[in-house]
Amino acid sequence: MVVPRLIERKRDGGTLTPEEWRELIGAYVAGLVPDYQLAALAMAVFFRGMSEEELGALTQAMLHSGARLDFGTWATPRVDKHSIGGVGDKTSLLLAPMLACCGVAVPMISGRGLGHTGGTLDKLEAIPGFRTGLSLDEATRQVQRLGCVMLGQTAELVPADRKLYALRDVTGTVESIPLISASIMSKKLAEDLRGLVLDIKTGSGAFLTEPAQSLRLAETMIGIGEAQGCRTVALLTAMDRPLGYACGNALEVEEAIHGLTGDGPEDLMEVTYALGVEMLLVGRVFQDRHAARRRLEASVGSGAAREKFAALIEAQGGNPSVVDDPRGLPHAPVQEVYRAPRAGVVTQVAPRLIGHAIIALGGGRLRTDDNIDPAVGFVVTAKPGQWVEAGQPIATVHARSVADGHIGLNALAASIQIGESAVATPLISHRVSRDGVESMSR
Amino acid sequence: MVVPRLIERKRDGGTLTPEEWRELIGAYVAGLVPDYQLAALAMAVFFRGMSEEELGALTQAMLHSGARLDFGTWATPRVDKHSIGGVGDKTSLLLAPMLACCGVAVPMISGRGLGHTGGTLDKLEAIPGFRTGLSLDEATRQVQRLGCVMLGQTAELVPADRKLYALRDVTGTVESIPLISASIMSKKLAEDLRGLVLDIKTGSGAFLTEPAQSLRLAETMIGIGEAQGCRTVALLTAMDRPLGYACGNALEVEEAIHGLTGDGPEDLMEVTYALGVEMLLVGRVFQDRHAARRRLEASVGSGAAREKFAALIEAQGGNPSVVDDPRGLPHAPVQEVYRAPRAGVVTQVAPRLIGHAIIALGGGRLRTDDNIDPAVGFVVTAKPGQWVEAGQPIATVHARSVADGHIGLNALAASIQIGESAVATPLISHRVSRDGVESMSR
């Protein structure tokens, strides 16, 4: 393997063999291939793309670069859901306990928030005592006992991805659909899954703003998953407004608990159930989506999912009483109510502005080593298309100080637009599977 | 300056400002920007190219990264010639002394051979005692005294190019016309020139095989040179066969001395005079090309150029007696004569095969730190289009052993094809200047 020749081949539109990808990634993780060669190769991939065979080989090479979850002969099928960055997206907090009540297990490895998008680990850590830094052994045992676990990536898991992602982050090579796909799928396939559901957020507040890009990402990731024997389905869901009302870590936990109790915001519940149904289908414990939906609704209606969440919190060192009494969650000292400045139809609730305002309030990160305040954020009850009266309370800022509260109010004024009429975008626009793309909007 | 944002901008088809290029190259040379970021940027440039303004800024930034030759107010105009890699190309050895006899000075900084192409420094070092490692001070003084100097790149000269070139060499980013152009031009402009002539070798034995690529390279380099006030002209010359007869370091020195004495091979002399005329024109000491040509011929006919070469050799520590008696040059112990295997017209003398055979005989390099034997090589008197009889001697191998001699004979058998008729390619196909492209072939 002469690395410059491999780079040149990719640069000139050729492909690397599976063996070459394996050898290259192995040597890179071992420190035998320098960062500058991988950086040049990643940029060549940005321009030239990768074949399905190459993507499979790269994903497998990354997957095999470290330890993995291994449930051996355990019969319960494992499924997971992965979302591509949004604002107000707390579906993971609902789905892990709900699915664990429906005959599948959820070994969910999540990430932290970065930039304007939130991360599941940060939300969980808003719960006092909650520990996301489990070992793979602990995680495996908890899944087998409880049906679900929610942890962060460990040092032993897919080290090739960690090293390569850090490099891409500083070399302008993040925005490559094949590299994004291999990165996500190597981590998800390390969970020893039968099925995976992807929630591809699309719109102004998402990583991908155009449906065409989202479809390409979905198809690429599905290709990788299916080739590795993991049934993979994707939903394209709207991120031109926040999902649900709450945006901010502790506020989102509280809203997730409402959801598990049966009174979450309608859009949040619709996306959660849609994803949950797909998870049960890819897990092959249900063939009928209506039956799957009824089972999920029953897990909420019976209180089982809520109890499962409490058990999950307890198992991971957190205080489970927050499920009954949200006062156990951190609260910001200042609340400022935002009122509609005029009567009209809400035409926009720009999620990116809200995400950036959370960073400004101290609740998000610009750099991976920033500390965050879990209590701050927004509750925005206004939704695009909704009629509001002048002076009607439509959002609340949760801030550390009155000054920060005003920053939050200004951000809301910029984010929420009121006009004459709104164009409705579908909450769930497409379903993508190995069988093709289905449009879900009427 | 946030480097990943600069990389992304170039990647997405944008341009960096001159100030950004200056800051980036300065920080790179200072070790403040890591290799992996420059590698990704170089690959993005490979795909996206650079604007004229960017190229000017990059070249200037590299030029200003170290020391330069500086002739101050010295009135004698400096000119140089740069050739893009060939086989048998010893024109520099003729041109430096010839031009120094014609009212211009030649401060020539040259490189070593790599791969199948030779390098001027290796040829000069075939002369016993010849020292190419001069300081810039020594070089400046010699030019002012003698009218010419021939040296290697020093550590102080254009360090940004040395660092960037080493990186490009291992990251598959060598073959970028803007980066090649900036690299060459930064080194040439460091010679404090009034004019520069580029010899863009084109054909199967050259770095660039297609005239369209050569024209693009010529135009890019001319754009850089003219923008920096250095009159720049390029000739596209044939490298589908070796230039002259001799291929190999000491053999080429011997042939160059023949050329300075008035009896060099016709093709070598034609290219040498054509380049020399352009050098006198860009130096603006002649306006008329016929007068320039006559002046150059007189420098040879009078013996002045030959004496100048002897003086140059002496000034740089070499034994000037080789000019009178080539037995002072290293000679290989084994000579094997190659005879035409059949009668017919020579249809091909493939230069790349001969260049690779020189490496096999020990006279060239695959890696920059390989040692070379100056004595070995080939003298190929057969030229495409020439009629040869069966058994006629048409080439000689100069080798270290009989076994190597046979390797050389096999290489000649592969390189020299004899058939029914040959398609003549023009020796000089195009002349390119700021005024446009002139086709020189009838």
Structure tokens at B331: 């000679």
Q: Which of A7, A46, A170 lies closest to B171 in CB terms?
A: A7
| Cβ-based neighbour number of residue A31 at 10 Å | 9
Q: Are residues A256 and A183 in the same domain?
A: yes
Nearest CA among B365, B393, B352, B398 for reference residue B253: B398
Catalytic residue IDs of A: 82, 161, 168, 183, 187
User: What's the rounded mean pLDDT across residues B313-338?
Assistant: 97
Considering the candidates B181, B183, B214, B433, report the single residue annotated as catalytic.
B183
Give the domain CATH number at A34. 1.20.970.10
Task: Give alpha helix (H) positions in A12-76.
Answer: 18-29, 35-48, 52-63
In a domain, residue B141? The reply is yes
B169 touches chain A (CB under 8 A): yes
Q: Are residues B432 and B376 in the same domain?
A: no
Tell me if residue B183 is catalytic. Answer: yes
Give the domain CATH number at B87. 3.40.1030.10
B179 touches chain A (CB under 8 A): no
Nearest CA among A437, A75, A140, A434 for reference residue A282: A434
As a dihedral over the C-alpha atoms of residue A147, residue A153, residue A157, residue A159, rounded to 10 degrees, the angle is 160
Q: Is the pLDDT of residue A123 over 80?
A: yes
The CA distances from residue A118 to A61, A106, A113, A206, A299, in Å, are 29, 20, 4, 11, 26
Considering the candidates B78, B168, B308, B398, report the single residue annotated as catalytic.
B168
Task: Output b/e per residue, B266-297; b: 16+ Cβ within 10 A.
Answer: ebbbebbbbbbbbbbbbbebbeeeeebbebbb
Q: Are residues B132 and B217 in the same domain?
A: yes
Q: Are residues A231 and A122 in the same domain?
A: yes
Residue numbers in B near A36 (CB within 8 A): 34-36, 38-39, 167, 170-171
- State the amino acid at position B39 in one-letter form: A
Give me chain B's average pLDDT, please: 96
Q: Count structural domains, chain B.
A: 3
pLDDT bucket at B442, cuts 50 / 70 / 90: low
Q: Which of B7, B10, B167 lies closest to A36 in CB terms?
A: B167
Q: Which residue in chain A is spatially nearest to B11 when comparing CA positions?
A: A172
In a domain, residue A60? The reply is no
CB A160 within 8 A of CB A29: yes
> Per mean pLDDT, which range of A117-131, A143-157, A360-374 is the poorest?
A360-374
CA gap A96, A82 in Å, rounded: 11
Q: Is the pLDDT of residue A159 over 60?
A: yes
Q: Is the pLDDT of residue A44 over 90?
A: yes
In a domain, residue B354? The reply is yes
Q: Are residues B40 and B169 in the same domain?
A: no
User: What's the rounded mean pLDDT across residues B40-65?
Assistant: 97
Q: Which residue in chain A is spatially nearest to B44 when comparing CA positions?
A: A43
Q: Which residue in chain B is spatially nearest to A169 when comparing CA positions?
A: B4
Give me chain A's average pLDDT, please: 96
> What's the Rg (C-alpha) of chain A?
22
Q: Are residues A393 and A432 in the same domain?
A: no
A3, A36, A37: which to substitute to probe chain B, counting the most B Cβ within 10 Å? A36
Chain A closest-CA separation from residue B49 CA (Å)? 13
Write down the pLDDT at residue A112: 87
pLDDT bucket at B112, cuts 50 / 70 / 90: confident
What DSSP designation does A117 have? B
Residue numbers in B near A38 (CB within 8 A): 36
In a domain, residue B59? The reply is no
CA gap B418, B420 in Å, rounded: 7
Chain A closest-CA separation from residue B403 CA (Å)? 30
- Give pLDDT tens digits for B185-223: 999 999 999 999 999 999 999 988 999 999 999 999 999
Write down the pLDDT at residue A393: 98
A164 touches chain B (CB under 8 A): no
- Give pLDDT tens digits for B219-259: 999 999 999 999 999 999 999 999 999 999 999 999 999 99
Chain A closest-CA separation from residue B89 CA (Å)? 28
**First-to-last C-alpha distance (Å) of chain A:** 53
Write down the pLDDT at residue B106: 98
pLDDT bucket at A281, cuts 50 / 70 / 90: very high
* Residue whose tokens read 């859009």: A267
Q: Are residues A304 and A381 in the same domain?
A: no
Nearest CA among B290, B247, B293, B269 for reference residue B113: B247
Helix (H) or strand (E) holding A270: helix A266-282
Q: Are residues A260 and A394 in the same domain?
A: no
In a domain, residue B249? The reply is yes
Q: Is the pLDDT of residue A1 over 90?
A: no
Give the domain CATH number at B342. 3.90.1170.30
Q: Is the pLDDT of residue B368 over 80?
A: no
Q: Is the pLDDT of residue A302 over 90?
A: yes
The CA distances from residue A351 to A121, A244, A245, A344, A418, in Å, are 20, 11, 11, 20, 15
- Give pLDDT tens digits for A346-374: 999 999 999 999 999 999 888 878 889 99
Q: Are residues A138 and A210 in the same domain?
A: yes
In a domain, residue A70? The reply is no
Q: Is the pLDDT of residue B294 over 80?
A: yes
Write down the pLDDT at residue B88: 96
Q: Are residues A232 and A197 in the same domain?
A: yes
Tell me if residue B293 is catalytic. Answer: no
CB A116 within 8 A of CB A87: yes
User: SS3 for B437?
Assistant: strand
* Residue A224, domain extent: 79-325+427-439
Chain B closest-CA separation from residue A207 CA (Å)? 16
pLDDT bucket at A85, cuts 50 / 70 / 90: confident
As a whole-number percent, the residues of chain B with pLDDT over 70 amount to 100
Cross-chain Cβ contact A37/B39 below 8 Å = yes
Interface predicted TM-score (ipTM) of this complex, two decimals: 0.85
What DSSP designation does B369 have? T
User: SS3 for A421?
Assistant: coil
- Give pLDDT tens digits for B248-288: 999 999 999 999 999 999 999 999 999 999 999 999 999 99
What secondary structure does DSSP assign to B285-324, as a single string?
S-S-HHHHHHHHHHHHHTSHHHHHHHHHHHHTT--GGGGT
User: What's the rounded mean pLDDT across residues B349-365?
Assistant: 94
Q: Are residues A228 and A371 in the same domain?
A: no
Write down the pLDDT at residue A422: 87
A40 touches chain B (CB under 8 A): yes
Q: How many contacts (CB atoms, under 8 Å) link A and B?
A: 86
Cross-chain Cβ contact A37/B171 below 8 Å = yes
CB B312 within 8 A of CB B148: yes
Q: Are residues A408 and A317 in the same domain?
A: no
pLDDT bucket at A442, cuts 50 / 70 / 90: low
pLDDT bucket at B438, cuts 50 / 70 / 90: very high
